[in-house]
Structure 1
Amino acid sequence: MSGEQQEPLELSEEAASLQHNGDLPQCVTKLKALQRHLMNTDRWKLSGSVLWNVCGVIRVEWERWRGEGAGQPSLNSLEVVSSALCCVRNAMPNCARNQLLVAETEDLLNPIVSCIQWTFKTLDPSQPLDTEESVREESEGEAERRKAYSTLAISCVTCLGNLVAANSKTRRIVWPYFKLMLGDVLVFWDKEVAQASTMILHNCLLEAELKEDLCKSPAGKETLTQLLTLYEADTKYSCFVLLALEVLLAADTFLEETWLSLTEGQQCLCLEVVEVGLTHTSKPLYSPHGTPILKFLVGYFKTQADRILRTHADWPAPDSALVLAKLVSFTCAVAASDTWRPTLQQDRSLLVTSVALLQCMHEIGKMGGNAFTPLDRFTDLDDKERMSEVEQHPAFGFKCDLIRLIASLVHLNSSNQDLVREMNALLLILETSRFDARNPLIKEASIFALRNLLEGNLENQRCIGELRMQGVAENPGLADLGMEAVQEGGKLKIVQQDRSRDSPPPEL
């Protein structure tokens, strides 16, 4: 009878018998057949004896590894354990009964956990097993051993992953063991191992008490840093990394407590993750009644906002300014959300900070020749290097984001509308409604802000209505197109330039 036609119980019994007789290669053959069989069997009808037999195989090999005077495990022994772990893994999906049997039975769980702990203590997580240098320096046998260790590491984390998937009870049982491994598995050189590890972490963090336990422990900061590093290193494996980050950063004060220990790049990535969690998640991770994380980030923006002013003549700009640019974009996006706008509108100091910062940037820009000076000539954009420099500066788009933020903060809020008028900022918003290559769409943002400032506010409407046209300001951008603005009958018109006025007088 072929291995594929045998029942799982028979295959597991034969594997255990072959191991007892010392025939490890044939034991591996039986275990791999069992592994395939479990992919297509009704796991709820699976005999518990199968898991006892397989975990027994793991226990026997583990005891040999740790035995007195034991050297390195043989390749056959490593392969036996890897195959057995895969069998346990394949018995778990969509079967809480099998998950609980293993997790709640000490004699079944201990061999699995012990092998996993041994594996990641033995292997150097930072040293790839198949680098070109190692291949050159090692013999063929040693290269095979490294490959066997790699397979074992993957088998370990995928087995543990299926053990905790969609099962609150097993997560709580496994967590104390897995928490001790986090420092090794999340930085493991093999991205498949790291990916499976973040899946386990995400599943565990879905339990409120486990998330709180990690956030309050010293391992919490290290775990956050490792997740961010993992994402930056290879976005191909970012799915569960981002899911784990979303859940971890949703903890009330966790980001505030770890913020200063992060690099500027990591801070920017955290802002991206939190923004998605606040504004785009179909199932919100944050309370709609307010959250400490939003209060912290908005407060940080208010205290650091003036730093952008120091970049008007600096190049390259400091990284902290790039974080500030990301912060204003984040605050702008959150304020545009119907869920969070009412919360931010109550923070009048945020509106004062935004208006005052816009005023300062506008005045500095008037001085000319700095990063806040509007670029209103199309010809200023012809130089690719120049445009690249403009786009990389933290001030790029900053004024536009401030205006969009102000527009959200005054939307249907008469008190905030009045505050902007009292700060003499209505004319400021009008003055920003001109083309500026440093702030794409600033004209549209300014018009939208004016609309929100005037809606339902008679005093603001009166102030704007009393403005009188003093003349037409020069616009070099129009001149580049051969156009000019002229005033006729109290109205502004765009017409072709009259070149005759620029012609020299005829000679006499």
Structure 2
Amino acid sequence: MAEESLFRDVLEILMKASNEVEGVREESWESGDADACLLLIAECFRCLRNACVQCAKNQHVMRNLGLIHTSVHLIEVLHGVPVKQESLLTAFRCSLQFLGNVAAGNGDSQNSIWKCAFPDLFLTCLTYSDEKIVAYCCMVLFTCLNSERVRELLNPGNLTVPLHVLKVYREELETEWSFLIVTDHLLKCPELVKALYAKLSNQERVTLLDLIMAKISENHPVTSEEMMVFLRYADFLAGCFQEKCQAVLKLTSAVDAEDEEALVTIRLLDVLCEMTSNNGQLEHLQVLPGLLETAVDTLRLTHLAGKQTINIFTVTHAMTGQEEISHPAVGFKSHLIRLIGNLCYKNKENQDKVYQLDGIPLILDNCSIDDNNPFVNQWAVYAIRNLTEQNERNQELIAHMEERGLADNSILESMGLQVEKQEDKLILRSIRKNPS
């Protein structure tokens, strides 16, 4: 209910205070002589912050008076103060809270802040030593972002802003607003994600892939626009996996158990498995050149590596159930088989491709219980089911393997399959269970 004159008075106080802060010498900061001025600034921003909560009238008045521009300038002044005492931090925090509140639900104020503050203010505050200032900066950035401004981040000079947001999230300096910036804005622009991915360290890539996994795992109906974004991710991430998949073989050495490039490969596989669990994304990935071949070849290489020496890819039954498996490659072969099974789901061309790559015996050879690959037996059952569905040649291959003794009958039985001989033909059938 305040009159415009009140906000004029506050603006005048802030402008005078800003001039006073700029004139303070370093020794005066250390002695605390400027504390009263900083307290006055903080109280002004508290007043403004509270007055514009869900109040479009006051938001417009403040913007038209120039309070946004004055506040951004004052933040720059506060940032330059050499001594970071509590009174300074309080004024700094309140100024950012004001910008967040004046922008909330108000497109004109968001435009004004973006014009005054991007990118310099965000770069200043995202790298500040105070976690609350970083958090409030993320709040302001999230409030001001839209699809058009996200594309502005693609400019080489602006890419540092989203890179700092990812760093803030990864270092857990502030998780809520930085998480929302990434999932609600940055991930909606595949071109930006590709540009960021190229600039990130391997550790940071793992963090970004975790955020992509969280986004594609959301349990809600996907719009056509979202699906188009996911399909572009599918192309990009499948290409990254195909390029770097053999990096995981470094993990055969205990010395390289934490190899960061290999950890990226593992996370890429996790994301691709999740994507192929969605029908729309599955159909797209099923026809991507080279992805299925890469999965089969990588399974063969890791399987052979596990047989040549004792390492994380070696089948083991040493666990008693009490130990905690912490090696990053645990489950890697299971996930490869899951990806192969998904890619062959109701897809005759991919079923035949696995046959040609001699992948069926390879999958059957990974059917035993393996403590390094939880649920590998179940994923192998699923993959064989998808490989043999309405595919007589693949069914006959497994049946002949049984006749030659190449496949352990107990493995087939564990899959719910059995081989029957009818005249001169071997037929693979499901084992019918008696009703309980």
Q: Distance in 2 between matches of 1:109 and 1:218?
A: 24
Q: Distance in 2 between matches of 1:167 and 1:444?
A: 53
- Write the deviation string for residues 317-371 of structure 1: whole angstroms up to 9, x where unpaired: 3221111111111211122123421221121411111011112222222324233
1:156 to 56, 75, 95: 95
Contact 1:358-1:402 at 8 Å conserved across structures = yes
Change (3 A) 1:474 1:458: closer
Q: Distance in 2 between matches of 1:111 and 1:177?
A: 10
2:401 maps to amino acid? L
2:74 to 98, 108, 115: 115
Unaligned runs of 5+ in 1: 1-44, 130-145, 476-488, 491-508
2:241 maps to amino acid? F
Contact 2:8-2:65 at 8 Å conserved across structures = no
Q: Which structure has the larger Rg?
A: 1
Corresponding residue for residue 367 of structure 1: 308
Q: Distance in 2 between matches of 1:375 and 1:455?
A: 31
Corresponding residue for residue 415 of structure 2: none
Contact 2:273-2:338 at 8 Å conserved across structures = yes
Change (3 A) 1:279 1:152: same
Corresponding residue for residue 141 of structure 2: 201
Corresponding residue for residue 192 of structure 1: 132
Change (3 A) 1:283 1:270: farther
Q: Is 1:251 paired with 2:212?
A: no
Q: Is 1:241 paired with 2:173?
A: no
Q: Is 1:51 paired with 2:7?
A: yes
Unaligned runs of 5+ in 2: 411-419, 422-436
- Write the deviation string for residues 246-292 of structure 1: whole angstroms up to 9, x where unpaired: 22243222232232432221110000111222231648696313554
Backbone CA RMSD of aligned residues: 2.9
Contact 1:204-1:211 at 8 Å conserved across structures = no
Change (3 A) 1:117 1:375: same
SS at match of 2:255: coil
Change (3 A) 1:450 1:102: same
Q: Distance in 2 between matches of 1:415 and 1:458?
A: 13
1:96 to 43, 46, 56: 56
SS at match of 1:216: coil
Query: What's the offset of the Cα at 1:46?
Result: 4.0
Corresponding residue for residue 279 of structure 1: 217
Q: Distance in 2 between matches of 1:284 and 1:165?
A: 27
Corresponding residue for residue 327 of structure 1: 268
1:267 to 200, 205, 219: 205
1:111 maps to amino acid? T
The equivalences for 1:12-411 within 5 A come to 45-66=1-22, 74-106=34-66, 108-123=67-82, 129=84, 146-178=85-117, 179-205=119-145, 207-220=146-159, 222-234=160-172, 237-246=174-183, 247-280=185-218, 282=220, 287-290=226-229, 291-317=231-257, 318-378=259-319, 391-392=326-327, 394-411=328-345
- Write the deviation string for residues 134-160 of structure 1: whole angstroms up to 9, x where unpaired: xxxxxxxxxxxx111011111111111
SS at match of 2:228: coil
SS at match of 2:358: coil
Change (3 A) 1:467 1:188: same
- Write the deviation string for residues 355-394 of structure 1: whole angstroms up to 9, x where unpaired: 1111222222232423321113446x77x5xx65xx32x4
Task: Count residues in correspondence.
Answer: 403
Contact 1:279-1:337 at 8 Å conserved across structures = no
Change (3 A) 1:409 1:168: farther
Q: Distance in 1 between matches of 2:24 and 2:209?
A: 52
Q: Distance in 1 between matches of 2:221 and 2:156?
A: 27
Which stretch shows the higher mean deviation, 152-161 or 254-263?
Answer: 254-263
The TM-score with structure 1 as length reference comes to 0.72
Change (3 A) 1:59 1:330: same
Q: Distance in 1 between matches of 2:131 and 2:301?
A: 47
- Write the deviation string for residues 391-416 of structure 1: whole angstroms up to 9, x where unpaired: 32x43211011111112111122221
Q: Distance in 1 between matches of 2:78 and 2:99?
A: 13
Query: What's the offset of the Cα at 1:314?
Result: 4.6
Contact 2:22-2:77 at 8 Å conserved across structures = no
1:423 to 341, 344, 357: 357
Which stretch shows the higher mean deviation, 334-343 or 58-67?
Answer: 58-67
Contact 1:116-1:156 at 8 Å conserved across structures = yes
- Write the deviation string for residues 221-244 of structure 1: whole angstroms up to 9, x where unpaired: x32332233223336x31111111
SS at match of 1:219: coil
Change (3 A) 1:281 1:209: farther
Query: What's the offset of the Cα at 1:164?
Result: 1.5
Query: What's the offset of the Cα at 1:118?
Result: 0.9
Change (3 A) 1:65 1:368: closer
Contact 2:245-2:298 at 8 Å conserved across structures = yes
SS at match of 1:444: helix
Contact 2:72-2:121 at 8 Å conserved across structures = no
Contact 1:420-1:426 at 8 Å conserved across structures = yes
Corresponding residue for residue 426 of structure 2: none
1:250 maps to amino acid? K
SS at match of 2:374: coil
Query: What's the offset of the Cα at 1:86?
Result: 1.1
Q: Distance in 2 between matches of 1:166 and 1:413?
A: 48
SS at match of 2:123: helix
Contact 1:215-1:251 at 8 Å conserved across structures = no
Q: Distance in 2 between matches of 1:59 and 1:460?
A: 80
- Write the deviation string for residues 64-93 of structure 1: whole angstroms up to 9, x where unpaired: 334699975732221111111111111122
Corresponding residue for residue 428 of structure 2: none
Identical aligned residues as a percent: 23
